[in-house]
Amino acid sequence: MKHRAMLTGLILTLAPGVSAPGQPGCVPTAADDEGPFYKAGAPLREATGKGLVVSGVVKSAATCQPITGARIEWWQANPRGEYDDAHRGSQVTGENGAYRFDTDFPPPYYGRPSHIHFKAEAKGYRQLTTQLYPTGGQSAVAFDLVLVKE
């Protein structure tokens, strides 16, 4: 039983998003493939469709605090499963580090599950490229982007 208690403690310590006791940091967001459809320079916008609200906070892994002035970009397939310019967007975070946009629910395509690609960058932090995987039926999804210092 003693070993089991120790093991449980270890698992709790390593659970995603949970920091070890006494440490203020947040677990960095895992990187994921950029894929072949990234185009730089997505326009600033608040929507690339409707039906799914995606929101979150860009944070520092070291402190868990929001990052002001971070730039996020997203790109995804349209409802026909094709990448187009109407489904590329970017935002810059304010003091609360938050972003929020409305978009079309991305369909699965080429055997891949529904996903939205993201990049996030901020001065003094390593650029992050990752993906969000919304699940069917969701109308809102929260996705914090936790960046690591350079």
Task: Point out which residues bind Fe ion (CB under 5 A).
Answer: 35
What sign for the dihedral angle of Cα 127, 29, 142, 58? negative
At its nearest, how many Å lie between Fe ion and the CB of residue 37? 6
Amino acid at residue number 8: T
Between 61 and 112, whose beta carbon lies closer to Fe ion?
112
- Which phi and psi angles does 139 have, rounded to 5°? -110, -10
Cβ(129)–Cβ(41) below 8 Å: no
- Which phi and psi angles does 145 have, rounded to 5°? -115, 110
At its nearest, how many Å lie between Fe ion and the CB of residue 88? 12
Between 46 and 82, whose beta carbon lies closer to Fe ion?
82
Distances (CA, A) of 110 to 17, 98, 114: 31, 32, 10
| C-beta atoms surrounding 29 within 10 Å | 22
At its nearest, how many Å lie between Fe ion and the CB of residue 99? 19
At its nearest, how many Å lie between Fe ion and the CB of residue 80? 14
Between 59 and 115, whose beta carbon lies closer to Fe ion?
115
At its nearest, how many Å lie between Fe ion and the CB of residue 115? 6
Assign residue 47 a region (left: φ > 0; alpha: ψ between -120 and 50; beta: otherwise). Answer: beta
Between 35 and 113, whose beta carbon lies closer to Fe ion?
35
Between 60 and 114, whose beta carbon lies closer to Fe ion?
114
